[in-house]
Structure 1
Amino acid sequence: MSCQTASSLSNHIAPIIGYHRAPLSQKFGAPRQPNLVALTSVIEMIAPYDTPAAFIGLEDFSYIWVSWQFHHNYLYKDKQANKADSSFRAQVRPPRLGGNQKIGVFASRSMYRPSALGLSVVKLEAIEIVEGRVLLIISGADMIDGTPIIDIKPYVAYSDALPDAQSGFAPSAPHLLEVTVTKVAYEQFVQIIDNQHIHNEAEKIAHNEKATVKSVIHKMQKQLLMPDLDNIKALIAQDPRPAYRQKEVNTSFIMRYKSVDVSFQLIGSGELQITDIDTI
């Protein structure tokens, strides 16, 4: 194979077929693997891939494979901007190993990989047709809001589930920390929900309660509900703090969720405590 032919085959351009719309707009707080937290989100398909005919039969599958781009990966951003810094990195430091031990990038699921591609199995909750367009309602995604979607395929249990597989340095799910909520933070959360409810009722009256793609996505991205507090606690229980800072007591960290910033810290008893919930 000539150098010219090899070079022409070294890059493959895949179309973006949709975008992930979710409660998490930042990397901090996002689950490091799929199905660790049952967050509900939406894949908004875009033209011409949003035609309902392309999804006939998918409703018979309970899980799907999603191929996607790590669009907040700074190496990917450098590459998009044609910067020279986006060179290949052979090793990474997985958080699961404390952020200190290096392993090969192809022995990890790190976002800093040559293709900048992620692959996740998520639960398919529903296929909705809104304004003639397809919206896939999913749960368990480890993607953040705005993630470009490259492909969708059905998950087939007899071939895709391998119960005897070895899982290297990640043989089991990560240990969860206990998460508590201060009275102040809980009252803040309830007040924000009440304020949003009043606003949303006015919006429904103004628009005759007709569902649109925009309204479905807005609800997923911004509208707080009481069950969201359980989602917030489940995300924080994964301990999104950098590995080298996980012993810091009384140091505040902020996770953005939907329309709020959630402040939490490790307290003396060894639990993570939510101290403040503020509207963005």
Structure 2
Amino acid sequence: MDLPSRALSIRQPWADAIVYGEKRVENRGWAPPSTAIGAPLLVHASQHPIPGALPATMTAAWPGTLGAIIGTVQLTGVHRATGGCCAPWGEPDAWHWELTQPRPLPDPIPCPGRLRLWTPPPQVLQQLAHATPTASAASVPYHDAHTPYIRAVAKALAALGVAVHDWDTMPDDPRTAHITLDTGPATAAYGDADVGLLWSEESGWAIAWDTRESGRYEALADLGDDVLPTPQTLAELTRDALTTRPAPLHGRWATYRDFGDNDNFEDRLTTYHD
């Protein structure tokens, strides 16, 4: 895995917004050296977050790691803010660092941060050198690319005590998946209904249940608004939804992206590949 050696410390939730979200510009009061343009960059999540900087509905789906290197990006350019450019992330009177190709590290590497661009200590660089590589999106069969993620979610559910009966992925356009939960004490809030989880690469996750003896789901409720929350986050959202049954949606399931979008979704999926 070809990792960069220079890091930039960014406070949460902005670090997660870059690595796991859609933030593609970092605001700084100074421009990076010309040698940094076009090079990869380590994203370090600072120890001290900014509470309430982003809506909880957005940040709930992100890990919120503090005091660690959490991923990498490519620094492709820099420009001065002009005329409200780079909305909604760009700030006025700032240098906008242009970022692409965000890739989360499989396991964050704890270390203290520093001001401006900095080089991690040798022991951290050694850990980075042995980090599990993130697969290239282009090397993974497109219609199978979501299977490792769904498998990781099923494992996270089981680890949290949510019994999984079965799971399956569908090679549709958009790609989808279904996890059937075992009925029992954990699903008591749903009575005799069958309960499951539905996933779509356009809509993310929903908990679903049948309200009639129809043999199919008749009601569903969104589980967050991130199409690709971490398995741990999704497991926690599911546990909460099993404790208190949410109000079912009225109307269509929300859509947050299109399966044909040219975004970082494929890179995020490959984080879960072996």
- Determine if the TM-score, normalized by the shorter chain, exceeds 0.5: no
> Relative contact order, CA 8 A, sep 6+: which one is greater?
1
TM-score with structure 2 length normalisation?
0.32
TM-score with structure 1 length normalisation?
0.31
